[in-house]
Structure 1
């Protein structure tokens, strides 16, 4: 991960989104850059233009939290973007010999108690994923909901690889553009949190090499907190589902997140989810070994 370049690109793309008029500055007749100039960001942040230029170039060693917060305010960063800026600054100041021994994505196993909890959720799909979007576990209904992802994976299923590298991704996620935006934004967040993770670096490198759609989204440097919202699925057995999700970080398992899905009661998606649960139970019973008669 080229952290200095990521800082530069992130700050450049953020200031390009803000017009001088938004900040009460004169627009001028001849502007060569979209959005704010570096000098204008420096003015709004209360630092010298030379100092801000060095920060935007990725030279953030010794930069105080107060200055970073001032830059975040000047660029009107939201909470997620502000946290991302701090993560990038922190990553840039970690010395080679002082890298953390374990990263956020070091966890590879779903805790036994969490798996038992998911298995007890017989009417709600649930999955567990790590920061770079490996699917590490699921209950029966979650595996059915993500069946297209699980069935197409040659090894451990990874949502980012599926979305950008599998031609069936649009069949599973009918709002593919939105799903792709979310995946790229989540990977940007994880890359800043775990800048020395080989798994994250290799995944991003592979996607950037093989997918133009990923490269386009990666260059936008958008970031996102995927805590709750609405997601659309298309299942080959029950059709389209619109589900609400809640994402919960698993205590004691750094970097792992449990995501549970529910449908609006009485909605077509609720009926489809009930049908999927019934179908899943039937499939499970059909493949279960017959009880011994001896």
Structure 2
């Protein structure tokens, strides 16, 4: 990522974060009257972060050389950044400081060790797959193949979940909370883009999605970031119907950039029968009636 692009990302990220906070939310007095900016003024952010307005203005313009961790922490507190946003800002600062550094991880790797596939296959009561940081699905177990049948049905060499979400109309039916998964997908890619500013494959993917999907482009311009860690996903499977599953996304320390995503279901869940039908479908290797 060129240095100018990194500085622009810092500018847009900081301005979008201060635009979402009202003086009341920041604990500042509101003297009434018409405000010319949405959210906080630069002077108010500087006051909250205990830095000068001139210094904050320089930071917001992307001139972050020499900024300390203490200043970043103060800025994160002033802008009410969560842990993901704080880490994202730090990654952008690193990228701006060393714009030509080589990536310290391969977020687009396609290699999956045999032992990882063995782990997937051993998880017979869960749907599990390995993806990289570009959201390419690299390996699955039997149940995940049945669950993600439509997403994996692609002419691409490697199925990509972001392409499925934004470029395949079936995704809006498959994900019952499409808005949520769309937000998470964009946030994950933006987080990775800051981590690996020199990743041209990721840049190409982002350009492709922004060109062909207005929904993606709008969300990308919002500069929201996200880690896909744990929660519940609401599906509508073409063969078995509605299904709510718990998920956990586990990064693999031995393979930076790779993540195992595991879907499970409590035996007492209202969707237990549906999950059993999905397992039967997986074992049969075909569609089963809903």
Shorter-chain TM range is over 0.9
**Distance change >3 Å, CA 106–CA 152, structure 1 → 2:** closer
Residue aligning to 2:189: 187
The answer as to whether partners of 2:138 and 2:158 remain within 8 angstroms in 1 is yes
The answer as to whether partners of 1:133 and 1:159 remain within 8 angstroms in 2 is yes
SS, match of residue 23 in structure 1: coil
The answer as to whether partners of 2:104 and 2:196 remain within 8 angstroms in 1 is no
Residue aligning to 2:205: 203
Task: Please state how far the C-alpha of 1:193 moved relative to its aligned partner.
Answer: 0.8
1:271 aligns with 2:242: no
**Aligned positions of 1:32-47 closer than 5 A:** 32-47=36-51
Q: Work out the CA distance in 2 between the residues paired with 1:134 and 1:222.
A: 21
SS, match of residue 152 in structure 1: coil
The answer as to whether partners of 1:106 and 1:254 remain within 8 angstroms in 2 is no
Aligned residues: 282
Task: Please state how far the C-alpha of 1:173 moved relative to its aligned partner.
Answer: 1.0
**Aligned positions of 1:1-294 closer than 5 A:** 1=1, 2-28=5-31, 29-96=33-100, 99-100=101-102, 102-283=104-285
Question: Which structure carries more helix by proportion?
Answer: 1
Residue aligning to 1:292: none
Q: Work out the CA distance in 1 between the residues paired with 2:103 and 2:177.
A: 38
TM-score by length of 1: 0.92
The answer as to whether partners of 1:104 and 1:193 remain within 8 angstroms in 2 is no
**Distance change >3 Å, CA 101–CA 227, structure 1 → 2:** closer
Task: Please state how far the C-alpha of 1:153 moved relative to its aligned partner.
Answer: 4.1
Q: Work out the CA distance in 1 between the residues paired with 2:273 and 2:22.
A: 47
The answer as to whether partners of 2:145 and 2:282 remain within 8 angstroms in 1 is no
Q: Work out the CA distance in 2 between the residues paired with 1:45 and 1:280.
A: 54
TM-score by length of 2: 0.93
SS, match of residue 65 in structure 2: coil
SS, match of residue 257 in structure 1: strand
Q: Work out the CA distance in 1 between the residues paired with 2:206 and 2:165.
A: 13
Task: Please state how far the C-alpha of 1:175 moved relative to its aligned partner.
Answer: 1.5
Q: Work out the CA distance in 2 between the residues paired with 1:212 and 1:75.
A: 28
The answer as to whether partners of 1:249 and 1:258 remain within 8 angstroms in 2 is yes
**Distance change >3 Å, CA 275–CA 189, structure 1 → 2:** same
CA-to-partner distance for each residue in 1:170-214, whole Å, 9 max, x for gaps?
A: 121121111111111111111111111111101111111111101
SS, match of residue 126 in structure 2: coil
Two-structure CA RMSD over aligned residues (Å): 1.4
Q: Work out the CA distance in 2 between the residues paired with 1:242 and 1:196.
A: 37
The answer as to whether partners of 2:240 and 2:277 remain within 8 angstroms in 1 is yes
Unaligned runs of 5+ in 2: none
The answer as to whether partners of 1:20 and 1:36 remain within 8 angstroms in 2 is yes
Q: Work out the CA distance in 1 between the residues paired with 2:137 and 2:23.
A: 43
Unaligned runs of 5+ in 1: 285-294
